Amino acid sequence: MEKTQNNKAWFLVLPVLALVAFSAVIPLMTVVNYSVNDTFGNNEFFWAGIEWFDEMIHSDRLHEALGRQILFSMIILAIEVPLGIFIALNMPKKGFWASFCLVLMALPLLIPFNVVGTIWQIFGRVDIGLLGHTLAALGVDYNYVRDTVDAWFTVVIMDVWHWTSLVALLCYAGLQSIAQAYYQAAKIDQASRWKVFRYIELPKMKGVLLIAILLRFMDSFMIYTEPFVVTGGGPGNSTTFLSIDLAKMATGQFDLGPAAAFSIMYFLVILLISWVFYTVMTNMDRADTQGGK
């Protein structure tokens, strides 16, 4: 007996596809058009081919911004992932305090990016900011506007404050999914706290940890608003990450061709990293499924 196929569901999907095409594909095609053309305004374009891509690939400015971006992302992951795991392990598992901690951890995630930057811009000021004034009172020469190390310290601490909660909440969800039978067996075997974490909790959390690492790497690799509000990319170009450099090139200098080529390369790097993480996660799930059979 042949099954009849109902295609009416496409009527529900088509509006979503049209919206995605309008909000993503069409602007992307516009960027692609600018990346292979040169223009002097008045919608007059001159074919440039891969000239802008070649210029960006050999640009010292791009290489420096990419180096700063990778360093920032690595620092963020090195701090936020272990800290998020530690917080999740020490959060209450049930009751009123568990709900209280969950709400408390979610609060930084609800604050808009520009507000986060404004908060830390004021917080770090020596004259009126609590952090800057306290460090000055302790004799620490702290000024994120003039000193490169202070600027990096402020931007990193700001991101850790803003996004560690995401890692902690994901790890907490992974811990909550572990059956109590595992803990009971470990207690019978008199396993130490480290062994419980190493052989029970960490393997059960590796799925959510990969998701957390992927999200945090992508977010940190595309960060723009918070450091731009706090430091504006300075002092000098010390905190000019890829997104800030791209915005300066496109809107400040109005170099639309190089900026378009820059943005496409930026997009492809993010897409490649996401594909690598997705492949790793898929292979791990397949291995776990085959191992459980």
pLDDT digits (tens, 9 = 90+) for 140-165: 889 998 999 999 999 999 999 999 99
Give the pLDDT score at 22.
79
User: Residue 7 class from Cβ within 10 Å (0-12 exposed, 13-18 middle, 19+ buried)?
Assistant: exposed
Other CB atoms within 10 A of residue 66 CB: 18
Distances (CA, A) of 265 to 56, 116, 262, 273, 279: 9, 28, 5, 12, 21
Ranges of residues in the chain whose predicted pLDDT is under 70: 1-6, 41, 285, 288-293
Distances (CA, A) of 140 to 110, 131, 132, 136, 137: 32, 11, 9, 5, 7
Helices 202-221 and 60-90: crossing angle in degrees, nearest 10, is 150
Q: What backbone phi and psi angles, to 5 degrees, belong to 46?
A: -130, 130
Give the pLDDT score at 290.
67
Residue of 144, 72, 148, 155 lying closest to 116 (CA atoms): 155
Token pair, residue 162, equals 């803003």
Give the pLDDT score at 291.
61
Domains of the chain (ranges, CATH numbers): 54-287 (1.10.3720.10)
Distances (CA, A) of 144 to 65, 79, 116, 217, 247: 19, 20, 16, 24, 22
Q: Which residues contact 220 (CB under 8 A, 6 or more apart)?
A: 72, 73, 76, 77, 159, 163
